Amino acid sequence: MTTATPSIKVGVVGGTGYTGVELLRLLAAHPLVRLAVITSRGDAGTPVANMFPNLRGRVDLAFTAPDPAALAACDVVFFATPNGIAMKEAGDLLGKGVKVIDLAADFRIKDVPEWEAWYGMPHASPALVAEAVYGLPEFNRDAIRGACLVANPGCYPTAVQLGFMPLLRAGVVDPASLIADCKSGVSGAGRKAEVHTLFAEAGDNFKAYAVPGHRHLPEIRQGLTGVAGAAVGLTFVPHLTPMIRGIHATLYARLTDRSADLQALFERTYAGEPFVDVMPAGSHPETRSLRGANTCRIAIHRPQGGDTVVVLSAIDNLVKGAAGQAIHNMNLMFGLPETTGIDGIALLP
């Protein structure tokens, strides 16, 4: 048996966060990827495996300070950075023929003034926003294949959109009254020192946050509006749960077509999709069944046969909600089989 020769030279900007290390874990196992550059301003010179011992024997690089020439020599560069970084650096890389995948929010929202209002800073590259392709493969696959710049979806938006989009596209629910009640593990807050994510604060605790408005709201609303063909009314409430990984979205919509076979609708929509698992009727997806996997599990319910449909959508926020989906997008951009390097089975228990 022959082993494929790595042919895609990859750079990762910002490899020290939870999303960054998950990206490195998956890229290190990708048979057609050669990791060339992993940057960190604060940890330049530190061997990657010293910070993340799970990568010992798999990643022998050290973090380096960002070097435009080294990044420009890559085929694709992933930005696993805070919001506001990729928009300043992506243009130069694109001009040199490098493909760019941004795991932050710099290019997700097409309305630049709206982005600026939610993210509290002027956009450095508004012209690139129009060029960027939103990287939700199940609904944007063809555009991603031809893209040079991909805006990787957020974690909440991935779970919510995959749950609502089949209903909106089929026109069987009222788009004006959607509710997304979502729960996330603490890793969704990032790898930084903040009081609310300390073990003594987040452990044995459960709370809602950002109820007046979360930055992912306009991203979700934009995607759902595009599928529905009209403005949607969405109430989105996120919660912090005492677990490390996972997002569980409980989605509510009012049926306008009570005769619709909702189970069949979802099964048809996601037939052949490698990373969406439509569970049997009556199922309840669990976040732990997705730990480490690039999969979204969905179950559809219609309580008491009424006019409310409840969709349960669960993902690993660091994989399908971030790094795994980014590699799915890379596979599409380079014409590879979509599951290459990201078809692993979830860890259980």
Active site residues: 155
**Three-state secondary structure along 277-306?**
EECCCCCCCCHHHHCCCCCEEEEEECHHHC
**What is the DSSP secondary structure assignment for residue 196, as one 8-state letter?**
G
Please name which of 214, 226, 230 lies closest in space to residue 175, comparing C-alpha atoms: 230
Give backbone dihedrals phi and psi of 151, rounded to 5 degrees, phi first: -95, 105
Residue 58 and residue 28 in contact, taking contact as beta carbons nearer than 8 Å: yes
| Residue 165 C-beta-side C-alpha neighbours within 13 Å | 25
Sole residue written with tokens 């732990």: 288
For residue 211, count other CB atoms closer than 10 A to its CB: 11
Residue 152 and residue 102 in contact, taking contact as beta carbons nearer than 8 Å: yes
**49/63 Cα distance (integer angstroms):** 10
Q: 3-state class of 346 per DSSP?
A: coil
**285/277 Cα distance (integer angstroms):** 10
Q: Which two tokens stand for residue 77?
A: 């560069």
Stretch (H or E) spanning 239: strand 234-240
- Give just the sign of the alpha carbon dihedral 310, 316, 318, 323: negative
**143/332 Cα distance (integer angstroms):** 9
Residue 78 and residue 23 in contact, taking contact as beta carbons nearer than 8 Å: yes
Rg (CA), the chain: 20
